[in-house]
């Protein structure tokens, strides 16, 4: 699988590098940068594997609003406008403390060098590595600058909703330069992490829902009375793996957007291939993570290297 992932990535790295990103970007300016981030991620995941799922989601939510510029990390931009962190889709994001810990260590080692947006990209990569039980090890190009703008009201229009159908999902991803296959591939991140009951409660009561009846009954019991959180993949909840696609096929997924992948012949074929071909989804996932990491990157002309990730300089 590692060789297949490497071959897939080689095709992408030339494309990403032309956007100002490069592998081993900090090899001279901060040689230990990626090791410092990986250690912070490892420590967090050793304590709670769910934090790894949170870091992958944090990276995704950042890149889909204003590009991969760490705008999702900001508490304030000095204006009266609420930042992305207060946008409705982002209220359950987690992993911020891991990014802050990595940034603090990096500022001690090489102050003013490593951007928060690169830390977030490295953290998403490293979380993938640990949650796939050390199998998906890949290079993440770097050289991003941090954005100075973050607006809560831009989250809902840019982030795909849990009730989206295939066409809406495709449109959302296409707007970021990502393909239909990228969408199906990145949806596999729902193999880990949790979802709030409110995100799928309509599927538990709807007569038209295609959810497996036994699974629906289990979820109604789990969500009864408190409206909490449940594992997105109850079979292997702590591992980032292709079990998600088997769940899609067997109608054991939470979100309408997950179930929708079987509503189109084209996406259903991708789901079935990912579920059945050993190593296929993993290689596509690491390539899609790298490709997503090149969305809307900032340069020195329109960004900065923040001293602290939660506030602009």
Tell me, what's the pLDDT at 195?
93
pLDDT tens by residue, 123-156? 999 999 999 999 999 999 999 999 999 999 999 9
Note if 251 is an active site residue.
no
Q: What is the DSSP letter of 83?
A: P
Q: Which residue has the tokens 């992932």?
A: 5
Q: What is the mean pLDDT of the chain?
A: 92
Greater pLDDT, 272 or 213? 272
The residues, ordered by sequence, that sit 6+ positions from 264 with a Cβ below 8 Å of its Cβ are 166
Tell me, what's the pLDDT at 12?
47
Tell me, what's the pLDDT at 2?
46
Q: Which CATH architecture has domain 166-285?
A: Orthogonal Bundle (1.10)
The residues, ordered by sequence, that sit 6+ positions from 178 with a Cβ below 8 Å of its Cβ are 186, 288, 291, 292, 295
Options 25, 61, 190, 251, the catalytic residue: 61
pLDDT tens by residue, 3-38? 444 434 444 444 444 478 999 999 999 999 999 999
CATH placement of domain 2-160+286-292:
1.10.520.10
Greater pLDDT, 274 or 223? 274
Domain boundaries, the chain: 2-160+286-292, 166-285
Could you give the maximum distance between any two Cα atoms of the chain, in Å? 60
């Amino acid at each position: 699988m590692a060789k297949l992932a490497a071959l897939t990535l080689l095709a992408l790295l030339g494309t990403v590098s032309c956007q100002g990103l490069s592998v081993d970007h900090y090899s001279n300016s901060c040689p230990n940068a990626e090791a410092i981030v990986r250690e912070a991620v490892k420590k967090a995941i050793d304590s709670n594997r769910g934090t790894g799922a949170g870091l992958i989601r944090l990276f995704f939510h950042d890149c889909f609003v204003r590009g991969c510029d760490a705008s999702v990390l900001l508490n304030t931009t000095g204006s009266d406008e609420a930042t992305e962190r207060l946008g409705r889709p982002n209220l359950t994001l987690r992993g911020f403390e891991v990014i802050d810990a990595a940034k603090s260590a990096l500022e001690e080692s090489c102050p003013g060098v490593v951007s928060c947006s690169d830390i977030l990209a490295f953290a998403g990569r490293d979380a993938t590595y640990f949650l796939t039980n050390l199998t998906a090890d890949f290079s993440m190009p770097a050289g991003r600058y941090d954005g100075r703008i973050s607006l809560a009201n831009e989250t809902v229009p840019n982030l795909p909703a849990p009730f989206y159908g295939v066409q809406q999902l495709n449109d959302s991803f296409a707007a970021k330069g990502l393909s239909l296959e990228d969408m199906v591939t990145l949806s596999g991140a729902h193999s880990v992490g949790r979802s709030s009951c409110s995100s799928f409660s309509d599927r538990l009561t709807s007569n038209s829902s295609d959810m497996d009846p036994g699974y629906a009954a289990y979820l109604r019991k789990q969500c009864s009375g408190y409206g909490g959180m449940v594992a997105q993949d109850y079979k292997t909840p702590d591992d980032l793996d292709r079990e998600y696609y088997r769940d899609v096929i067997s109608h054991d997924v939470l979100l309408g957007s997950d179930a929708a992948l079987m509503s189109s012949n084209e996406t259903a074929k991708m789901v079935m291939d990912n579920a059945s071909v050993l190593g296929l989804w993993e290689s596509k996932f690491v390539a899609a993570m790298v490709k997503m990491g090149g969305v809307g990157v900032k340069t020195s002309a329109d960004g900065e290297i923040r001293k602290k990730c939660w506030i602009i300089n």
